[in-house]
Amino acid sequence: NRYTPLMRSRALASLGTAPDAHVAEQTGIPVTTIYKWRIEAKITPYRLHRATAQYLDLLRQHPEGLTARQVSAAMRVTRQGAYVTLHSLAHRGAIECVTLPNPRRYGGWAHILLWRLPILQEVTHATRN
């Protein structure tokens, strides 16, 4: 086995929380190995519910973010239903909530909650002198 215990433990911690291909990409381990480890550990595969995929597709189309009211109108669900789903997705880390000051309410003291996909930060490496 050419994988260190640290690499294996990191991969095993991610199994079932993301697709096998995504875990393989993040760890640098082949997908077939990740698949085999997941089966051996008796971990069910990661699957998105159809409604969850629709929420993520909608937010992918609007990178600046949407309010819960806009999401509920687009998804044709109640605002409370959209709010619960958005919170559960944010809790899992799939989306993020951003607060912006609302200049039209209370002189900017009130805020607007926008839901969007997380913005990935580019990794920069230090240069050696």
100-124 pLDDT tens trace: 877 777 766 677 888 998 876 444 4
Q: What string of H, E and C letters represents the secondary structure of the chain?
A: CCCCHHHHHHHHHHECCECHHHHHHHHCCCHHHHHHHHHHCCCCCCCCCHHHHHHHHHHHHCCCCECHHHHHHHHCCCHHHHHHHHHHHHHHCCCEEEEEECCCCHHHCCEEEEEECCCCCCCCCCCCC
% pLDDT > 90, the chain: 27
Q: What is the pLDDT of residue 88?
A: 86
